[in-house]
Amino acid sequence: MIPGPDEIIACPHCGSLARRHTLLSGNTFGAHFWTDGKMLAPMLPEFPAITRCAQCVQLYWVEDAQVVGEEQYGEPIPEEWKRAQAVRELTRDEFREALQTGLGNNAERELHLRVHYWWACNDPLREAETAPIPPDYSDWERENFARLLELLDAHAPGERLMMAEIHRETGNFDAALQLIQDTPESHRAWAETLAAHARQGDRVVRQIPYR
């Protein structure tokens, strides 16, 4: 992994500065893949696309923030740049807040927020040290699943498997298995893991084993 220079960005609401890490190159060495489509790759970190300003506490899309400058190695750095904190990932409840306050204002952004809300709900299950217990979903989580099934593209293999995973996690195992049929070779390990757990009547997010 080769990190790039940090960018200094300005909050679109109050103008206070934040720091955005960049990557020149990365790879999936040592990555863990999960049945809900989340990848945890130490050499290819996902930088937040949306964040909360540390000063005015408003949420904003990082791409909407003006880039003030870029820290170059060996060049003098303004004092206020040094104090700029790195943009942070939102929590589960903040992704929900972003959706409820209209930040999912196009299909791509809504999909991003809903997928990350789902992943954040699954994170405690990923980290469980004992056998994870299948969750009881809130109305909000059920609504999120229903909307994701509308937003995800059944013609894209990865998104189709995320749809199958939603069916599995909500106990619609037949619908999950139906969607897994005709999965291309490139997505085979994911599909097989998902199918095996659907056949066992298991609703919990699972890591896709290496082979």
Where do contacts with Zn ion occur on this chain (CB under 5 A)? Answer: 11, 13-14, 53, 55-56
Task: Identify whether the C-beta of residue 7 lies closer than 8 Å to the C-beta of residue 63.
Answer: no
Complete DSSP assignment for 136-149: PPPHHHHHHHHHHH
Q: Which is nearer to Zn ion, 17 or 125 (CB)?
A: 17
> What distances in angstroms separate CA 153 from CA 18, 36, 159, 163, 179, one per listed residue?
34, 15, 6, 9, 12
How far apart are alpha carbons 54 and 69 in whole angstroms?
19
CB of 8 to Zn ion, least distance (A): 14
Q: Which is nearer to Zn ion, 56 or 107 (CB)?
A: 56
Q: Give the angle subtended at the CA of 90 by the CAs of 86 and 94, to the nearest 5°.
A: 140
Q: Which is nearer to Zn ion, 91 or 207 (CB)?
A: 91
CB of 17 to Zn ion, least distance (A): 10
CB of 62 to Zn ion, least distance (A): 12
CB of 182 to Zn ion, least distance (A): 47
Q: Is 181 exposed, middle or buried (0-12, 13-18, 19+ CB in 10 A)?
A: exposed
Q: Which is nearer to Zn ion, 59 or 149 (CB)?
A: 59
Q: Which is nearer to Zn ion, 13 or 126 (CB)?
A: 13
CB of 15 to Zn ion, least distance (A): 7
